[in-house]
Amino acid sequence: MRRAAKLGARARGVAGLVTQNTRPTPSSPAPRPASSRIQTHDSIVSRSLLHSKSRDNNSEALGTVAKLVSDAAATPVLAPKNPQHVTIADILDRRAKAGRLVAGTAAYSDSDMFKGPSSGKPKAKRWDYHLTDESKAREPCMLKQAAKHLKKPGLISLGGGLPCAENFPIESLSMKVPRVPHFSEEATRELGSELRIGKYDVAAGESEYDLSIALNYGQSTGSAQLMRFVTEHTELVCRPPYADWRCALTVGSTGALEQALRMLCDRARHDAVLTEEYSFSTALETAAPLGIHLFGVAMDAQGLLPDAMDAMLRDWDPAQRGGARRPHVLYTVPSGQNPTGATQGEQRRRDIYDVARRHDVFIIEDEPYYFLQMLPYAGKTEAAAAGGAQKTSPANEESVEDFLASLIPSLLSMDTDGRVLRMDSFSKVVVPGSRVGWITASEQVAERYIRHAEVASQGPSGVSQVLLHRLLDTHWGHDGYLRWLMHLRQEYTARRDVLLAACDAHLPRDVVSWNPPAAGMFHWLKIAHEAHPDAGSKSVLAIEDDIFNRCIAKGVLVARGSWFRTERGEHASPPTDLFFRATFAAATPENMAEAIRRFGAAVGESFGLE
Amino acid sequence: MRRAAKLGARARGVAGLVTQNTRPTPSSPAPRPASSRIQTHDSIVSRSLLHSKSRDNNSEALGTVAKLVSDAAATPVLAPKNPQHVTIADILDRRAKAGRLVAGTAAYSDSDMFKGPSSGKPKAKRWDYHLTDESKAREPCMLKQAAKHLKKPGLISLGGGLPCAENFPIESLSMKVPRVPHFSEEATRELGSELRIGKYDVAAGESEYDLSIALNYGQSTGSAQLMRFVTEHTELVCRPPYADWRCALTVGSTGALEQALRMLCDRARHDAVLTEEYSFSTALETAAPLGIHLFGVAMDAQGLLPDAMDAMLRDWDPAQRGGARRPHVLYTVPSGQNPTGATQGEQRRRDIYDVARRHDVFIIEDEPYYFLQMLPYAGKTEAAAAGGAQKTSPANEESVEDFLASLIPSLLSMDTDGRVLRMDSFSKVVVPGSRVGWITASEQVAERYIRHAEVASQGPSGVSQVLLHRLLDTHWGHDGYLRWLMHLRQEYTARRDVLLAACDAHLPRDVVSWNPPAAGMFHWLKIAHEAHPDAGSKSVLAIEDDIFNRCIAKGVLVARGSWFRTERGEHASPPTDLFFRATFAAATPENMAEAIRRFGAAVGESFGLE
């Protein structure tokens, strides 16, 4: 009988979770039957519920479908004043009208539930012929067939193997975070907010997202709660110009890139990818083992050159390219490109998009540094006078609308065809350790991506998701998060300016040249190797090696440009230019200045300068 | 000047992080130079530092190497009393002797740093001929070449693009968790411990792991701190009998399985995998798009039949198997197999391992339910008398050594060849939302696995890792965690017994039969379809469909056995048996009993029983 009493207590312990989906709680009205619910909901919800074809579930995580439940009488969402330019006010209005988000354990959701009206916009093109056999062979999970029955009132599921929240040994999570706009560490220690997330906050009517949901299995697209935030954020920032775009959460952009490449590139088809001639080495290392041929497009200070890309595609001869098919995919980092620090201006992006359309190239837009678009570099005199950083207006003096308007438009914002898969990440702008990012793409492409994620990562950590949601959505909101991003761009501007002032002070300008980076974390230093005393007898790589070794001897580590060459190996021509990459993200200001001094000394020594 | 002061403050703000790796803190002695450190350390550390060949780093996360720093004079670690049977006391002794773990941002680590002596054990065999071209083509990250320079004293790195912890907007994390042995939710609310993790706890000498490390990039193998815990746990539980085994953290076993399959199975080679004839549907859906042929081995109440496996491999004819090569990989779930609930006994596992050796088959051992090995089912009378659950001794009355001894040995524990890749997961035993698990395999296999993870998931969420580490390692310790697992097995035993008592009470035994599951979350119910009134006119699938629809109509969802058939599609023969799967993991006891009553009524109705 002791055991029976215990089981009874346990039954009450999980009642909150059950209640959440199927029974009324004291603090919420009784749910209406599904059919009447659709009638009384606004158009967003009706639309999403009718999308039954695309509804799906993680196989063992048989969840319900997320819903927006309005306690008020049905009020249609007002269209934004300017449908091409959704504002935070529009989104707040839409949320208020749509009502409470009800999304329990492993509830299915998609961006269509949270987007504004897309009337008048075209649908994305179809990309079946670009997809690989592997991607086309992906089928929805078998147990999906069961999920549709979960909405039957009173149904008891013994279907999905989800553990019971009662057996989760974490009762609550708390975190101390900044209050807007007091973002510094010092201010956070003094004034920060202590946010708490309990296990059964939803059943208690205290929250839309709690640990009983976040710590259980979830959809591979991520939770409905964070899906809503990133969908709205993407709408605010990127405004995709076609109708059927979707977001899906990722475990970070490296994993997302691997999935995208497996979706689009086939070893047996001799597929090839274009990218910048110097590119993110991890991206190259992701593609190479898959048998994907990689080709580099020439760059200038604004990154990838559209004319060079056009000429490569126009004149493509597989016989001269190791048997590779003409590339049908471009991988590009438009803002603060790694390693060159180059940022494509708006016209450059439009020109690249036009070339992609002309040759029917699909674009993977990797934008980890999009919000690290910095303020213009004011030059060495001012920077030095300000102790290594120019004076900039504090984050709370600029409006978020001005901030958004100041950002170079994304390729996604120009993407009338739906040929862009954009990768965003919280790594560089919140914390890398969250391992959370998201993609935005057409419904077709996002659906194929999700089918893969379901049998691979199964989506990001629920712990990370609930903390990000609590911080970004509930605590800061869209306005506060954009103010955090404004703060961050000032931090990076200050760091960059320290590095640039040190370069101005310590590097021999006859030998080392650079463009001030406009975004990101990286500074790309060009060495005039042709002026090196051994230029006649030594290769570029040998001179690079000599300088690098002198750097180490003097106590500074910088990355060698040759590590980032897109075309390498036996068939690649040897490099004709010599670069080093330095980051201004990590070291202290004092250490950055000292490191650049050492670098200058190493270069000077190698070149025999006095 | 205001800006300059701010930058100065910032420099101090990050000093903790810098100190952590390169400078003495007030609370720790000055580190000795690396060479003397190796001399004064115990054999574990010396060994690991000499493993420079296998040392590696995430490309953008240029970290140092984790170290164990002993403040005392060099004292060699005592060998465990019985090297084949390492105890918690041995591990505590080893930790005390090895000293403080110093592992900063993205520090490299591997299991060899934390394992006991493996003298006398053979090394694993090499599996080059089993690996795919994709796996063999994986190269260490380019930037790895830079990592070795980080140990140079005084070096300033502008190499890796790691964000500065100062820009992480989370100052501290706290969680409320159970105290051992008061594991229930009620006890946790009343007596639970509130654990706090700060941003710079390491620099303050308060911890070996903090948010400045956990929220930044990390190694794809996971943090050194959690790597130590899972390595020791694996040693306690599985005791691999060969020398060079290694662990690597994963984002969960589904993702780990996909990586393992891409490492071992090649579409172009017509590779095939053996598994149970009814298998985890997500595993099947992971393999199929990769072009992997899947074949099911006959099962009995203990799961996969070694003789059947032997016969299939012996008589393999590719022409009769759709062109598939003889399988060189077995995927098996030995404990509480999904969907059948079958658990392989010790002799069964030894026999399967012998067949694998005979035919040189590599084994993927998927063990999410290993610790959900339940207590024997006492039968319906007692269970009913105890209110649905048999009386069992409370978790704190059994010793953890007895608990470990009671578990059926893993395939890994029998693996003298190093031919097993074991997949463990925290999903079923802590929380699924952590998205953290780990693999254990030979150094060669683990190294290939890690090369892939570096360009895919990049390892699990740091947020999840630091919470798991704080709970399992710092708060509970190995003993407490094993007591939690003992508690959990009692919870699942009670849940299973409720379901079995309901089956005894409500199901027509002439038509429905089952074996009491000995592990896991699933109960597999066999329907005597040959006794169905329509057996002559309807297929097995049609009868399954009829019963399933009646179940839904009566308000119970169970999974159809046909969803789990390994061999499906046009070439597979139609099913000759009829099953349904019910889980006892999720519903409340009352709902489980009611659901089974409805299921019995649906079956009875379909069979025309009164």
Task: Sort out which chain B residues have CB atoms less than 8 A from A143's CB and list them.
Answer: 281, 559, 563
For the segment B84-139, what is each residue's pLDDT rounded down to a tens digit? 789 999 999 999 999 999 999 999 999 999 998 888 899 999 999 999 999 999 99
Task: Sort out which chain B residues have CB atoms less than 8 A from A6's CB and list them.
Answer: 494
B36's tokens = 């003397």
For B214, the closest chain A residue by CA position comes to A433
Place of tokens 């001094």: A597
What pLDDT does A73 receive?
A: 53
Half-sphere exposure of A197 (CA within 13 A, CB side): 28
Whether residue B140 is preceded by a cis peptide bond, meaning omega within 30 degrees of 0, is no
Alpha-carbon distances, residue A560 vs A94, A298, B99 (angstroms):
50, 19, 37
For A491, the closest chain B residue by CA position comes to B167
Task: Sort out which chain A residues have CB atoms less than 8 A from B161's CB and list them.
Answer: 338, 521-522, 583, 585-586
Q: Which SS3 state, helix, strand or coil, does residue B555 take?
A: coil
Q: Do B158 and A189 touch (CB under 8 A)?
A: no
What pLDDT does B90 receive?
A: 95
Residue A149's pLDDT band (cuts 50, 70, 90)? confident
Q: Is there a contact between B426 and B369 (Cβ–Cβ < 8 Å)? A: no
Q: Residue length, chain B? A: 610
Residue B493 pLDDT more than 80?
A: yes
Q: Do A175 and B172 touch (CB under 8 A)?
A: yes
Task: Sort out which chain A residues have CB atoms less than 8 A from B393's CB and list them.
Answer: none
Q: Which of A151, A331, A461, A563 to mutate to test the interface with B (most CBs of B within 10 A)?
A: A461
Mean pLDDT of B567-579: 88
Task: Sort out which chain A residues have CB atoms less than 8 A from B148's CB and list them.
Answer: none
Mean pLDDT of A184-200: 98
What pLDDT does B73 receive?
A: 53
Position with higher pLDDT, A570 vs B383 = A570
What pLDDT does A160 receive?
A: 85
Residue B560 pLDDT more than 80?
A: yes
Alpha-carbon distances, residue A69 vs A52, A225, B63 (angstroms):
18, 14, 48
Task: Sort out which chain B residues have CB atoms less than 8 A from A150's CB and list them.
Answer: 557
Task: Sort out which chain B residues have CB atoms less than 8 A from A500's CB and list them.
Answer: none
Backbone angles phi, psi at B390, to 5 degrees: -75, 155
In Å, how far from its chain's centre is CA B158? 37
Least confident of A497-506, B60-69, B224-233, B454-463: B60-69
Residue B81's pLDDT band (cuts 50, 70, 90)? low
Please name which of B465, B605, B591, B592 lies closest in space to residue B534, comparing C-alpha atoms.
B605
Q: Is A154 left (phi over 0), alpha (psi -120 to 50) or beta?
A: left
What pLDDT does B240 receive?
A: 97
Mean pLDDT of A508-537: 97
Position with higher pLDDT, A280 vs A75 = A280
Mean pLDDT of A441-459: 97
Position with higher pLDDT, B51 vs B300 = B300
Q: Do B432 and A589 touch (CB under 8 A)?
A: no
Position with higher pLDDT, B36 vs B571 = B571
Residue A184 pLDDT more than 70?
A: yes
Complete domains list, chain A, with CATH: 1-73+84-114+131-154+174-251+447-485 (no CATH), 507-607 (3.90.1150.10)
Crossing angle of helices B224-237 and B88-98, in 10° steps, is: 150
What pLDDT does A135 receive?
A: 98
β-bridge partners, A53: none
Task: Sort out which chain A residues have CB atoms less than 8 A from B437's CB and list them.
Answer: none
Q: Which SS3 state, helix, strand or coil, does residue B373 take?
A: strand
Residue A341's pLDDT band (cuts 50, 70, 90)? very high
Q: Which SS3 state, helix, strand or coil, does residue B63 take?
A: coil
What pLDDT does B44 receive?
A: 31
Residue B72 pLDDT more than 80?
A: no
Tell me the C-alpha distance between A354 and A360, whole Å: 10
Q: Do A173 and B170 touch (CB under 8 A)?
A: no
**Element of type H or E holding B560:** strand B559-560
What pLDDT does A38 receive?
A: 28
Q: Do A160 and B583 touch (CB under 8 A)?
A: yes
CB of B63 within 8 Å of any CB in chain A? no
CB of A251 within 8 Å of any CB in chain B? yes
Contacts of A379 (CB under 8 A, 6+ apart): none
Q: Which residues of B11-21 are buried (b: 16+ CB within 10 A; e: fewer)?
A: bebbebbbbbb
Q: Which of A6, A134, A170, A486 to mutate to test the interface with B (most CBs of B within 10 A)?
A: A170
What pLDDT does A583 receive?
A: 97
CB of A281 within 8 Å of any CB in chain B? yes
Task: Sort out which chain B residues have CB atoms less than 8 A from A145's CB and list them.
Answer: 563
Nearest beta carbon to residue A595 from set B156, B338, B586:
B156
Contacts of A292 (CB under 8 A, 6+ apart): A261, A265, A267, A271, A272, A273
Q: Do B458 and A255 touch (CB under 8 A)?
A: yes
Q: Do A170 and B164 touch (CB under 8 A)?
A: no
Half-sphere exposure of B217 (CA within 13 A, CB side): 28
CB of A192 within 8 Å of any CB in chain B? yes
Q: Do B171 and A185 touch (CB under 8 A)?
A: yes
Task: Sort out which chain A residues have CB atoms less than 8 A from B582's CB and list them.
Answer: 158
B610's tokens = 């009164």
Residue B71 pLDDT more than 70?
A: no
Backbone angles phi, psi at B307, to 5 degrees: -65, -40
Task: Sort out which chain B residues have CB atoms less than 8 A from A484's CB and list them.
Answer: 169
B606's tokens = 């379909």
How is residue A241 annotated by DSSP?
Answer: S
Alpha-carbon distances, residue B252 vs A32, A169, B442 (angstroms):
37, 19, 19
B558's tokens = 């169970």
Task: Sort out which chain B residues have CB atoms less than 8 A from A59's CB and list them.
Answer: 281-282, 285
What pLDDT does A397 receive?
A: 67
In Å, how far from its chain's centre is CA A428? 9
Least confident of A61-70, A242-251, A402-411, B177-186: A61-70
B369's tokens = 């339910």
Residue A607's pLDDT band (cuts 50, 70, 90)? very high
Please name which of B172, B165, B166 lies closest in space to residue B104, comparing C-alpha atoms.
B165
Please name which of B281, B274, B287, B464 lies closest in space to residue B355, comparing C-alpha atoms.
B274
Mean pLDDT of A521-528: 98
Task: Sort out which chain A residues have CB atoms less than 8 A from B592's CB and list them.
Answer: 156, 158
Tell me the C-alpha distance between A235 and A252, whole Å: 20
CB of A114 within 8 Å of any CB in chain B? no
Residue A15 pLDDT more than 60?
A: no
Binding-face residues of B in 424-453 toward A, CB within 8 A: 427-428, 430-436, 452
What pLDDT does B388 receive?
A: 42
B320's tokens = 């009769």
What pLDDT does B27 receive?
A: 40
CB of A273 within 8 Å of any CB in chain B? no
For the segment B195-220, what is each residue's pLDDT rounded down to a tens digit? 999 999 999 999 999 999 999 999 99
Mean pLDDT of the residues in chain A: 87
Mean pLDDT of B340-354: 98
Q: Do B433 and A152 touch (CB under 8 A)?
A: no
Mean pLDDT of B481-506: 97
What pLDDT does B483 receive?
A: 98
Q: Which of B156, B391, B458, B567 to mutate to test the interface with A (most CBs of A within 10 A)?
A: B156
Task: Sort out which chain B residues have CB atoms less than 8 A from A388's CB and list them.
Answer: 3-4, 7
Residue B427 pLDDT more than 70?
A: yes
For the segment A579-604, what is each residue's pLDDT rounded down to a tens digit? 999 999 989 999 999 999 999 999 99
Q: State chain A's maximal CA–CA distance in angstroms.
A: 92
Position with higher pLDDT, B2 vs B499 = B499
Position with higher pLDDT, B29 vs B195 = B195
Q: Do A455 and B133 touch (CB under 8 A)?
A: no
Task: Sort out which chain B residues have CB atoms less than 8 A from A497's CB and list them.
Answer: none
Residue A64's pLDDT band (cuts 50, 70, 90)? confident
CB of B606 within 8 Å of any CB in chain A? no
Closest CA of chain A from B93, distance in Å: 28
Residue B83's pLDDT band (cuts 50, 70, 90)? low
Q: Looking at this predicted complex, what is its ipTM? A: 0.89
Residue B331 pLDDT more than 70?
A: yes
CB of B294 within 8 Å of any CB in chain A? no
Mean pLDDT of B555-566: 96
CB of B146 within 8 Å of any CB in chain A? yes
pLDDT above 70 as % of chain B: 84
Q: Is there a contact between B327 and B273 (Cβ–Cβ < 8 Å)? A: yes
For the segment A553-566, what is each residue's pLDDT rounded down to a tens digit? 999 999 999 999 99
How is residue A427 annotated by DSSP?
Answer: T
Q: Is B303 left (phi over 0), alpha (psi -120 to 50) or beta?
A: left
Mean pLDDT of B185-190: 97
Strands B193-198 and B67-69: unpaired
Mean pLDDT of the residues in chain B: 87
A-to-B residue pairs, Cβ atoms closer than 8 angstroms: 444
Mean pLDDT of A174-199: 98
For the segment A115-129, what is each residue's pLDDT rounded down to a tens digit? 988 888 999 999 999
Residue B270 pLDDT more than 90?
A: yes
Residue A18 pLDDT more than 50?
A: no
Please name which of B578, B576, B595 lies closest in space to residue B526, comparing C-alpha atoms.
B578
Nearest beta carbon to residue B595 from set A139, A156, A391:
A156
Nearest beta carbon to residue A7 from set B62, B138, B389:
B389
Q: Do A218 and B433 touch (CB under 8 A)?
A: yes
Residue B506 pLDDT more than 70?
A: yes
Residue B18 pLDDT more than 90?
A: no
What pLDDT does A71 receive?
A: 62
Please name which of A148, A165, A475 lies closest in space to residue B549, comparing C-alpha atoms.
A148
Q: Cβ-count burial of A509 within 10 angstroms (0-12 exposed, 13-18 middle, 19+ buried)?
A: exposed
Closest CA of chain A from B231, distance in Å: 22
Residue A77 pLDDT more than 90?
A: no
Q: Is there a contact between A104 and A62 (Cβ–Cβ < 8 Å)? A: no
For A557, the closest chain B residue by CA position comes to B157
Residue B488 pLDDT more than 50?
A: yes
What pLDDT does A325 receive?
A: 98
What pLDDT does B33 receive?
A: 34
Residue A69's pLDDT band (cuts 50, 70, 90)? confident
Q: Is there a contact between B563 and B547 (Cβ–Cβ < 8 Å)? A: no
Tell me the C-alpha distance between A388 and A381, whole Å: 10
Residue B386 pLDDT more than 70?
A: no
For B341, the closest chain A residue by CA position comes to A161
Residue B41 pLDDT more than 60?
A: no
Within A36-186, strands assigned E span: 67-69, 100-102, 156-157, 172-177
Place of tokens 């060899």: B112
CB of B569 within 8 Å of any CB in chain A? no
For the segment B467-483, what is each residue's pLDDT rounded down to a tens digit? 999 999 999 999 999 99
Q: Is there a contact between B304 and B366 (Cβ–Cβ < 8 Å)? A: no
What order do you get walking across the sheet with A522-527 strand by strand?
Answer: A512-513, A522-527, A578-583, A559-560
**Highest mean pLDDT range out of B51-65, B66-80, B141-155?**
B141-155
Binding-face residues of A in 303-362 toward B, CB within 8 A: 338
Q: Do B289 and A258 touch (CB under 8 A)?
A: no
Q: Is there a contact between A198 and B596 (Cβ–Cβ < 8 Å)? A: no
Nearest beta carbon to residue A585 from set B141, B163, B559:
B163
Residue A289 pLDDT more than 80?
A: yes
